Amino acid sequence: MKVTFPHLGTMHIFCKAIAETAQIPYVVPPETSRKTLTLGVLHSNESICLPFKIILGNFIEALQMGADTIVMVGSGPPCRLGLYDLVQKAILEDMGLHYRWLTIPPRLTLQAIWKNYKETKELKKELSWKNILLFPYGLRMGWKKMMACEALEKLAMKVRPREVKKGETQKHLKKALSGVDEARTLRTLNDALQKGKAILQMTGQDFSRIPLKIAIVGELYTVMDPHINRGVEQKLGELGAEVTRTSWFSTHILRSLRKNKADQNSERIRFFEASKAYLGYDVGAECNLSIGEAIVRSKEGYDGVVHLMPFACMPETTASGILTRVGKDWDIPILTLILDEQEIEGRIQTLLEAFVEMLQWKRKAA
Amino acid sequence: MEEKGRIGIPRSLMFYRYFPLWKVFFEELGWRVIVSDGLGKRGKIIYFEDSCLPMKLLVTHSINLRGKVDHLFVPRLVSLHRSYIMCPKFRGAPDIVRLATEGTVSILDETIDLRTREHSMLRSFLKTGKRLGADEKEGKRAFQKAERFFINFQKGWENRINVLSSKDLFQFDIPTSSEKNISPPPRPRQGEAEGELAGEDKREGGYGRLYSPPPLPAPRLRQAGSPSPVKGGGKDIGETSMRVAFIGHPYNLFDTDVNKDILSFAKNLGMRIITPDSLSEKEIDAQVSDLSKEIYWSSGREIVGSLFHFLSGGVDGAIFLTSFKCGIDALLQEFIRRRLKLKGGTSIPLLVLSLDEHSGREGLTTRLEAFKDVIEERKRN
């Protein structure tokens, strides 16, 4: 058995940690590239959302590298993400690839257990008692690594707009993340985290700058994965803007576990409440939160909002329509970027440059 | 009865299934129902958001009605089935309309969510009735009449599609209130008794009865004054003609602004049109219940289920109408294609037509003619 999982931001680092600690053989799909995307596009149709194509590409590449078991996080209605597995299974089967599929249900319901029963039973045969015993430890390791990655990324977002030499932060971030990736025990992980933070702080910074404050909102895949959004976060940072986002793995995992409801979700609840002036119902996925966050950020004095969504994303299409009005009402510039498989990196760069410049004028005028 | 005011219903989205229900309900409460005009030949679509064509048409039609009506009826359709939901775009539709009309018109946007008991169809309509100043009794009576009429309307639906031209599909007469007075006196009492029964029904069933017609006395459905026959309807649409299943969301099938009136063209080619409406829920379920995951959109389920049902026999061809950018259709289309291939294909021809505001009638007719040739060729062999 060889387990594989899709790429999403730094997800491969902690998925790998779980498998490694539990001593389950795994295959990390090759880094998302043009080829991954081409494979995904080739085997799906034009109006399917971009995350679907990229995940499919990841799976095809991983299966070709010898993986045989796909682990995928499921989701519920009303967004299309909840049916990814159904359609991707049909596609892979039609392509003649052999795989087994394990969906981690977003909520443990009877139906979810029933539909996964066969696969789980089969997998259990291949796992030794050692794997099972080590699994909780693996989960703990994975969680710690995830938190370490997020801490480093958050720090990089702060450092980037003040860097003197363009691109230095990104280089340091990569180094710091690979340090976390290589850590094998909890103690070495802690060391790697401290070391990573130190590396990032070593970046030459100009503290006299007052960077623009921009919030990134939108569909979670496009917000979290730099391959899907063509590095919007990094680009904005290098243009001199301090970027914030609220979509992190920890937020989404805690949300689906319904843990720390009062504490962790307070921000999400705040956004949701704010969106009620425009939306009378929970549209699903991140739609309401995108709108709410834009309003809240405007109140908090942010300079602008970048809204990311895949082409033809159902909930975010509604959000983008409403956000044009939110921007007018709350006097906050909102840039919506619709992403698909087109080679649009250059265009995004130009758009972001213009956006940042506009924000700077606006700030000077105020 | 004196007219209390005007209610505007945009000619878009679920209008194409539930209009009879809505119309009877509001007229029973003494309101006049105004429906927006079609786009016509030179109609301009108003782009408020970058959505699918049917959604853009909702905004366009709503703006068209602005100033002509007292209230706009744009219900928030979360779910029209006891366990499956609608596309997420429907959830934000009233808000989009509110922003697009800039708050100049009052919008009746009660939520309809048949998954929860308290939001069942009746309750939602009672709330709407309340906003219009009707008490619960009036609302209940109006809704029951509307529901009965609607169920009967649905029964005659397939015949209507094949006999009437597309623009007359939703032209119908409702038994007038004067006639109601003539009707035998037991009726109101009977209605009340039914009302209680229906209430019980709902508490147990937990959802409106639109999918399981109750054993109510059949009302007389009166055909529109003089149904204009289909152009070139002289052709014999009988046993010998081709039976072609048209599958898709109701607004793709029946909105002539979306599909350029492909149905009447199909009828002129001698096709007999069959829609998923003719299938029971059981028949649809039988096709999709063995999937590794439930398809949770009711419309998507209907599309996949009916397509597999029709492709396993009973029709000469199937046509799947989809709007460009429709998220549900895009995903399921891929699924249908792959699953068909895995099942060893089908001998029944399938045509997928993707529609948007740029599709021209000529392109569609060419493909339809070619499709007809395929069917005929297959029949000959």
ipTM surpassing 0.90, yes or no? no
From chain B, the residues in CB contact with A285 under 8 A are 88
Identify the helix (H) or strand (E) that includes residue B286: helix B281-288
Q: What is the 3-state secondary structure (H, E, C) of chain A?
A: CCEECCCCCCHHHHHHHHHHHCCCCEECCCCCCHHHHHHHHHCCCCCCCHHHHHHHHHHHHHHHCCCCEEEEECCCCCCHHHHHHHHHHHHHHHCCCCCEEEEECCCCCHHHHHHHHHHHHHHHHHCCHHHHHHHHHHHHHHHHHHHHHHHHHHHHHHHHHHECCCCHHHHHHHHHHHHHHHCCCHHHHHHHHHHHHHHHHCCCECCCCCCEEEEEEECHHHHHCCCCCCCHHHHHHHCCEEEEECCCHHHHHHHHHCCCHHHHCHHHHHHHHHHCCCCCCCCCCCHHHHHHHHHHHHHCCCCEEEEEEECCCHHHHHHHHHHHHHHHHHCCCEEEEEECCCCCHHHHHHHHHHHHHHHHHHHHHC
CA distance A249 to A233: 16
Record the tokens describing residue B320, joined without a space.
Answer: 């799947």
CA distance A136 to A159: 35
Q: How far is CA B155 from the centre of its chain?
A: 13
Backbone phi, then psi, for B352, in 5-degree steps? -110, 120
CA distance B282 to B279: 8
Residue whose entry in the numeric block shows the structure tokens 């443990």: A108
Task: State residue A154's pLDDT score.
Answer: 94
**Min Cα separation B335/chain A (Å):** 5
* Interchain contact A79–B (C-beta under 8 A): yes
Task: State residue A110's pLDDT score.
Answer: 66
Question: How many CB atoms are located within 10 Å of the residue A89 CB?
Answer: 21
Chain B's closest residue to A92, CA to CA, is B338
Task: State residue B177's pLDDT score.
Answer: 52
Task: State residue B41's pLDDT score.
Answer: 67
Taking the CA atoms of chain B, what radius of gyration do you get in angstroms?
Answer: 21
Residue whose entry in the numeric block shows the structure tokens 């105004």: B34
DSSP B350: E
Query: B92 vs A314: CB contact, 8 Å cut-off?
Result: no
* Residues B71 and B105 sit within 8 Å (Cβ to Cβ): yes
- Count Cβ–Cβ pairs < 8 Å, chain A vs chain B: 128
**Min Cα separation A161/chain B (Å):** 33
Comparing CB atoms, the residue among B48, B296, B332 nearest residue A77 is B296
Query: B331 vs A87: CB contact, 8 Å cut-off?
Result: yes
CA distance A155 to A147: 12
Residue whose entry in the numeric block shows the structure tokens 């699994």: A135
* Interchain contact A93–B (C-beta under 8 A): yes
Record the tokens describing residue B123, joined without a space.
Answer: 């309750």
From chain A, the residues in CB contact with B94 under 8 A are 280
**Min Cα separation A351/chain B (Å):** 19
Record the tokens describing residue B28, joined without a space.
Answer: 């029973």
Sign of CA dihedral A13, A14, A19, A20: positive
Query: B88 vs A85: CB contact, 8 Å cut-off?
Result: no
Mutation target to probe the B interface, by most B beta carbons within 10 A, among A43, A80, A111, A320 is A80
Question: Crossing angle, helix A129-159 and helix A249-257, to 10 degrees?
Answer: 130
CA distance A185 to B62: 62
Query: A86 vs B291: CB contact, 8 Å cut-off?
Result: yes
CA distance A171 to A199: 10
Record the tokens describing residue B376, joined without a space.
Answer: 């005929």
The fraction of chain A above a pLDDT of 70, given in percent, is 95
Comparing CB atoms, the residue among A44, A312, A321 nearest residue B334 is A44
Q: What is the average pLDDT value for chain A, to the nearest integer?
A: 88
Chain A's closest residue to B102, CA to CA, is A325
CA distance B165 to A8: 52
Backbone phi, then psi, for B219, in 5-degree steps? -75, 160
CATH 3.10.580.10 holds for B242-380: no
Burial label for B44, CB within 10 Å (0-12, 13-18, 19+), is: exposed
Chain A's closest residue to B85, CA to CA, is A78
* Interchain contact A47–B (C-beta under 8 A): yes
Query: B88 vs A287: CB contact, 8 Å cut-off?
Result: yes
Sheet containing A304-310: order of strands: A241-245, A212-218, A304-310, A334-339
DSSP B229: B
CA distance B41 to A311: 29
- For the CA atoms of B49, B54, B59, B63, the dihedral, rounded to the nearest 10 degrees, stands at 150
CA distance A54 to A225: 11
User: So where are chain A's domains?
Assistant: 3-127, 144-208, 210-366
Task: State residue B280's pLDDT score.
Answer: 87
**Min Cα separation B327/chain A (Å):** 6
Residue A62 has pLDDT above 50, yes or no: yes
Question: How many CB atoms are located within 10 Å of the residue B34 CB?
Answer: 15
Q: Which of residues 32-61 of B touch A (CB under 8 A)?
A: 48-51
Q: Where in chain B is the domain with CATH 3.40.50.11900?
A: 242-380
Mutation target to probe the B interface, by most B beta carbons within 10 A, among A47, A101, A316 is A47
Sign of CA dihedral B227, B233, B238, B241: negative
Comparing CB atoms, the residue among B51, B99, B342 nearest residue A93 is B342
Q: Could you list the pLDDT tens digit for every one of the 381 residues in chain B? A: 567 889 999 998 999 999 999 999 999 999 999 998 877 666 788 888 888 889 999 999 999 898 889 999 999 999 888 888 898 899 999 999 999 988 889 999 888 888 877 658 888 898 999 999 888 889 999 999 999 999 999 888 888 888 888 888 888 887 665 444 433 333 333 334 343 333 334 333 333 334 333 344 444 444 444 444 444 444 444 445 789 999 999 999 999 888 888 999 999 999 999 998 888 888 888 888 888 788 889 999 999 999 999 998 889 999 999 998 888 999 999 999 999 888 887 889 999 999 888 878 888 999 999 999 999 998 888
Residue A272 has pLDDT above 50, yes or no: yes
pLDDT band (50, 70, 90) for residue A115? low
pLDDT in tens, A207-258: 888 999 999 999 988 999 888 888 999 999 999 999 999 888 888 887 777 6
Query: A79 vs B334: CB contact, 8 Å cut-off?
Result: no
The CATH code that applies to domain A210-366 is 3.40.50.11900
